[in-house]
Amino acid sequence: MEEFPFDISPMYEGERVRKGEYYVELAGPKSIGFELVRACSPDEVEDGKFTLIGPDLADMEEEGRYPFAMIYKIAGEQVEEDLEAIVERRNHDFQNYFHGYMHLNQRYDIWIRIHKDMVKNGLKSLEQIARATMMLFKSELPFIEKIEAIYITDENTVKEELEKAMEIYRKRDERTRNLHDEDVDTFYGCLLCQSFAPTNVCVITPDRVSLCGAINWFDGRAAAKVDPEGPNFPIPKGECIDPVGGEYTGVNEVAAELSGGEYTRIKLHSFFEYPHTSCGCFEVVGFYMPEVDGIGWVDRNFSGIAPNGLPFSTMAGQTGGGKQVVGFLGIGVNYFRSPKFIQADGGWNRVVWMNRTLKDRVYDDIPEDIRDKIATEDEAPDLESLRKFLIEKGHPGVERWEKEEEEEKEVREEKPQPTQPTQPLPTLSTVSLPTIPQASQLPVFQDPGKIKITFKNATIRIGKVVIEREEEKSG
Ligand code: SF4
């Protein structure tokens, strides 16, 4: 085995390299980059060859930031185009085995940091990183018989190649367009993120791309076939319990097994009820805003604050870890293109806000009648402006508010009216219950001196209930 000036072990997965600790930062949110795997014929690949276009580590400024692309050409008897995405996803996995090296995200979102200690310990060139990665690819995925790496740090070349890569990603995503959950008997699971999100249950179906956006149903199928001992495995669908929510007995069984009994039900196309777990790799996070009874979506490139007052990073922290979090949901961008997109909760009609770049990216896939009724940070940076925007544009959610308010009014009228003057009651806009769905149906206030709050469709967790007999007071 080749010698490298850094340790290689799965125990380094999840290691973070912070600001001030890195020698260089490559790609990431403040630069550009991508990773790509191409399946080639054997004569197109020179096994073990490494090419670098642009400056190497020794030519980079300490604590500098540079564009970065990693392209791998692979060949082998079993290597086919369907395997590209799955091999590409393992780049994240394998590179995180390097002590002092941080690789985050996938595709066009990659973000790499190389710790100063790696350089101190003898790392001189990106070639050493490429060689260690190629070694892992070949030892862990034996169907790869030949592999060649091309790394690019020259900004213009990264830009040019990124455009070509985007077209390849788009074509991959297109493949599942005409295939739906009901057309297949088997879904696929992925275990990769369980290393940092142990209860994560990642289910990939024709209508639901993986959370990281890198693996679609075809990719899962190809990986499970060629590497049956690997992280991707078939999930027999079983019986469909809820066709709208997307609940299947086979998925529930796998959920119970993989989450160690933590989650026994998953509805693939539901935001509120038994939602899919969220690992941390998701491209986009959805968040419920009770004040407008609608859902907003923000992608990881958005550095601003969403109307609920939170940035992506805070919401991602709240959502990730392999949990089923009612009120937040991590998804892959391509799920927006699914005809079953959160269909249990009204689909696009429940969407009220998206960050501008995300909305532009999926604009053509948003149904025409709702497109212009979804706000971005330009029109609605906060809840008040969002509420105004939705009313002005006649968003379908507004009708729902009116109906609910009407129902609440009827309930109030049926109850005895207060005889004493009361304090002004909080209005919807002052009630903030971020994780409770249907909160726009709140609150229902009644008798003076007493307050009754009705929660509809809410999940309430109680750690402990103590029931005590009330002792009669003796005179
Ligand atoms: S998000 Fe899902 S499909 Fe993607 S790497 Fe993680 S477990 Fe695998």
Q: Is the pLDDT of residue 433 over 70?
A: no
- The CA 388 to ligand 1 mean position distance, Å, reads 38
Provide the pLDDT confidence category of residue 2 given band limits of 50, 70 and 90.
Answer: confident
What is the C-alpha to C-alpha distance for residues 149 and 152, in angstroms, rounded to an integer?
10
Q: What is the mean pLDDT of residues 311-318?
A: 92
Report which ligand 1 atom has the smallest distance to the Cα of 282: 1
pLDDT of residue 443: 36
pLDDT of residue 428: 40
For residue 51, CA distances in Å to 60, 131, 291 come to: 17, 11, 54
Tokens of 385: 């402006």
pLDDT of residue 196: 85
Secondary-structure class of domain 10-174 per CATH: alpha beta
Identify the three-state secondary structure at position 21.
Answer: coil
Q: What is the mean pLDDT of residues 4-11?
A: 95
Q: Max CA-CA distance within the chain?
A: 100
Report which ligand 1 atom has the smallest distance to the Cα of 220: 3
What is the C-alpha to C-alpha distance for residues 128 and 8, in angstroms, rounded to an integer?
12
Q: Which residue has the CA at smallest separation from atom 2 of ligand 1?
A: 202
> pTM of the prediction?
0.77
pLDDT of residue 458: 60
Q: What is the mean pLDDT of residues 226-248?
A: 96
Provide the pLDDT confidence category of residue 410 given band limits of 50, 70 and 90.
Answer: confident
Q: Please tell me the CATH code under which domain 181-393 is placed.
A: 3.40.970.20
Report which ligand 1 atom has the smallest distance to the Cα of 232: 8
Give the domain ranges of the chain. 10-174, 181-393
Q: How far apart are the first and last CA of the chain?
A: 88
For residue 211, CA distances in Å to 194, 201, 276, 283, 461 come to: 13, 11, 9, 7, 27
Report which ligand 1 atom has the smallest distance to the Cα of 210: 3
The mean of the pLDDT values for the chain is: 89
Q: What is the mean pLDDT of residues 181-208?
A: 94
Pocket test for ligand 1, best of 95, 172, 187, 193 (most atoms within 8 A of CB): 193
Q: Do domains 10-174 and 181-393 have the same CATH topology?
A: no
Q: Which residue has the CA at smallest separation from atom 6 of ligand 1?
A: 193
Report which ligand 1 atom has the smallest distance to the Cα of 92: 5
What is the C-alpha to C-alpha distance for residues 60 and 40, in angstroms, rounded to an integer?
32
Q: Is the pLDDT of residue 148 over 70?
A: yes
| Contacts of the segment 160-166: beta carbons below 8 A, 24+ positions apart | 161/34, 161/69, 161/71, 162/32, 162/33, 162/34, 162/69, 162/108, 165/34, 165/36, 165/69, 165/107, 165/108, 166/108
Q: What is the mean pLDDT of residues 362-383?
A: 97
Pocket test for ligand 1, best of 279, 300, 319 (most atoms within 8 A of CB): 279
Q: Give the distance from CA 229 to its chain's centroid.
A: 25
Q: What is the mean pLDDT of residues 446-455?
A: 47
Q: Is the pLDDT of residue 441 over 80?
A: no
List, chain by chain if needed, residues with CB within 6 Å of any ligand 1 atom: 89, 190, 192-193, 202, 210-212, 214-215, 279, 281
| Range scoring the smallest mean pLDDT among 101-105, 120-124, 354-358, 459-463 | 459-463
Q: Is the pLDDT of residue 301 over 90?
A: no
The bridge status of strand 22-27 relative to strand 64-66 is parallel
CB 282 within 8 A of CB 214: no
Sign of CA pseudo-dihedral 286, 289, 293, 299: negative
Q: What is the mean pLDDT of residues 272-291?
A: 94
Q: Is the pLDDT of residue 470 over 70?
A: no
What is the C-alpha to C-alpha distance for residues 432 and 377, in angstroms, rounded to an integer?
20
CB contact set of 419 (below 8 Å; sequence gap of 6+): 448
Q: Which residue has the CA at smallest separation from atom 3 of ligand 1?
A: 210
Pocket test for ligand 1, best of 92, 94, 190, 285 (most atoms within 8 A of CB): 190
Q: Give the distance from CA 148 to its chain's centroid.
A: 30
